[in-house]
Amino acid sequence: MSFEPKIVGFLCNWCSYAGADLAGTSRIQYPANVRVIRVMCSARIDPTFVLKALRDGADGVLICGCHPGDCHYTEGNYKALRRYELLKQTLCAFGIEEARVRLEWVSASEGQVFAEVVTDMTEKIRALGPSRFRVEQENASQPVHQEVTK
């Protein structure tokens, strides 16, 4: 079987989570690689969440918030954006490709957009292959040949 990326999605309760629900009610199909964790606001997403997800074997992390100007908490999405920019630099220093951690604005009415983002991200990460952390972790705990492409 080919490599199936694992993506953790942190979604804002007010917009993107509702958008993902809308993709469901509209039956818009997208890859099953994303697993969603609901937070009240993208500003709640502590960089440690992302690091934790990567360390625990995620191949990618998707952060979705409200469009600029539309934040339920006025400006939480800007805070998320600032943190994201800093986090990206840190991750690059760790050798994590930029495409693995992605910030997207998805509103409650954008079920289609959410599905497109997930599809696109899954394809890109599939192309990148498993994350460094995941490979190292699996090499450390298991015999070398039991590869990620099981």
Residues near other proteins (CB under 8 A) are: 4, 6, 8, 14-15, 17-18, 20-21, 23-25, 27-32, 35-41, 43-49, 52-53, 56-58, 66, 69-70, 72-76, 79, 83, 107-110, 115
CB of 65 to other proteins, least distance (A): 11
Encoded amino acid at 118, one letter:
V
75 secondary structure, DSSP code: S
If residue 126 lies in a helix (H) or strand (E), which one and from where to where?
Answer: helix 111-128
The count of residues in the chain is: 150
105, two tokens: 């604005």
Q: How far is the CB of 36 from other proteins (least distance, A)?
A: 6
Burial of 28: CB neighbours in 10 Å, binned 0-12, 13-18, 19+: middle
60-65 vs 34-39, strand pairing mode: unpaired
d(CA 18, CA 27) in angstroms, rounded, equals 14
- Least separation in angstroms between CB 124 and other proteins: 19
Are residues 6 and 35 in contact, defined by beta-carbon separation less than 8 angstroms? yes
